[in-house]
Structure 1
Amino acid sequence: MENTFDKTAIETIDLLEARLRRIEYAICGRVEEAASTTGKTSAVKRLGQLEHSLHQLASKSRVIQDLLKLHSRYPDLFQSIKPEDVPTTLDTSSILAIVLASASSYPSTASRLTSILDVPIPPTELSAQLIDVQPRIAKVGALQAAQSADIAELRERSAAVIQRWYTVDILGAGDSWAEFEGRVGQVEAKVRRTALAKRLDDDMI
């Protein structure tokens, strides 16, 4: 009897490990090499190894993390329910009314699901190429950021040069012309006064 229990436990753990590997392949696209287990490894140790592998897989995949959170909040969603066991307290007429009210959305939902199934999965070669060029893309992005910083600095320097040219050359020249015009006006007034005084002196003589 004890051998039968041990055999059942080992087969159950083997099935759990196989299911875990299938999940890992479906999510990650590959399966990490598992540590070789011998017949002398205890069931408790193998269960601990499987739990550790599951935690590692969950830490790598956001999908598994979301599924685990969903399972912890709504465990009833992961329970298989018989068709005759309706999970509701509503009567048949109320359920029928709900189904008929949502009947129009069933074909559109079915067509969307079908279209998702028809979307081709990109080949692994393209994904590998994208992964290979990722460092080059990051390098180009850093170069573009540096060029943008240089362009921004040149714009600031150009704006400073234009402001200095306008302040010194345009406004400064205008101030100089205004001062020169004022001095010319003063000289002209002095010349007129001198000429008028000379004319008055000549008339008196």
Structure 2
Amino acid sequence: METPFDKTAVETLDLLEARLRRIEYAVSGQVDEATPADDNTPAAQRLADLEHALHQLASKSRVVQDLLRLHARYPDLFQSIGADELPTTLDTESILSIILASASSYPSTASRLTSILDVPVPPAELSAQLIALVPRIARLEALQAAQNTEIAALRERSAALIQRWYTVNILGAGDSWAELEGRVEQVEQKVRRATLAKQLDADLV
């Protein structure tokens, strides 16, 4: 026999499942067709299935992960506050001073929000065309990356060729000229010695 507690538990699980489906639709835009729960399914099993579905949704959606982390760090943000309750411990004078200090920014903020409403929403065809361009953009990015790699390799080869040309032609030519100048100096010294020896022989005669 079904007790009021069992009926409340079943209704609560149905509400949780409906909320989960609405969240799934809001996040992904679609709802997976799930097998409806049997009336004889234990409440613990249904609760475990809902928790598993929530974990799957969180693993697929970055938004849900961010919300869960935000809830873990700042749980007060997700608590409803009455209209007469102030979400602060400041007194009225401090609150008024903060509001008056920021009063000059209210009109500009309001005008910006109004201008956002005036911004036209792009047509769906344009969005579809942009989405269709994503694969081509990805291919172009891959081609650009390959070209950058090839250009970097060409730069390395050019730098190596310039270094080799400078070493062989410039430094090698300089070494050759230095060796030639040394040999010329040696020849000049020998010529001067021979000339001096001839002069000495001529003076002796």
TM-score class, shorter: 0.7 to 0.9
Structure 1 distance, partners of 2:190, 2:94, is 110
TM-score normalised over the length of structure 2: 0.72
What aligned pairs does 1:147-166 form with structure 2 within 5 A after superposition?
A: 147-166=147-166
- Once the two structures are TM-superposed, the CA of residue 93 in structure 1 deviates from its matched residue by 3.8
Give the 3 Å change call, closer, same or farther, for CA 14–118 of structure 1 in structure 2.
Answer: farther
SS of the residue aligned with 1:2? coil
Structure 1 distance, partners of 2:185, 2:94, is 102
- Once the two structures are TM-superposed, the CA of residue 116 in structure 1 deviates from its matched residue by 5.5
What aligned pairs does 1:58-69 form with structure 2 within 5 A after superposition?
A: 58-69=58-69
SS of the residue aligned with 2:19? helix
TM-score normalised over the length of structure 1: 0.72
Map of 1:83 onto structure 2: 83
- Once the two structures are TM-superposed, the CA of residue 199 in structure 1 deviates from its matched residue by 5.5
**C-alpha RMSD over aligned residues:** 3.5
What one-letter code is carried by the residue in structure 1 that aligns with 2:132? Q
What one-letter code is carried by the residue in structure 2 that aligns with 1:62? R
What one-letter code is carried by the residue in structure 1 that aligns with 2:25? Y
Please list every run of 5 or more consecutive structure 2 residues that lacks an aligned counterpart in the other structure. none
Map of 2:32 onto structure 1: 32
**CA offsets, 1:90-133, max 9 Å, x none?**
444443333333333334444455556666478473575356x1
What one-letter code is carried by the residue in structure 2 that aligns with 1:16? L
Structure 2 distance, partners of 1:10, 1:121, is 45
- Once the two structures are TM-superposed, the CA of residue 197 in structure 1 deviates from its matched residue by 4.2
Among 115, 129, 132, the residue aligned to 1:129: 132
Relative to structure 2, which stretch is displaced further, 115-124 or 24-33? 115-124
Structure 2 distance, partners of 1:17, 1:66, is 21
Structure 1 distance, partners of 2:155, 2:86, is 70
What one-letter code is carried by the residue in structure 1 that aligns with 2:175? D
- Once the two structures are TM-superposed, the CA of residue 64 in structure 1 deviates from its matched residue by 2.1
What one-letter code is carried by the residue in structure 1 that aligns with 2:152? A
- Once the two structures are TM-superposed, the CA of residue 162 in structure 1 deviates from its matched residue by 2.0
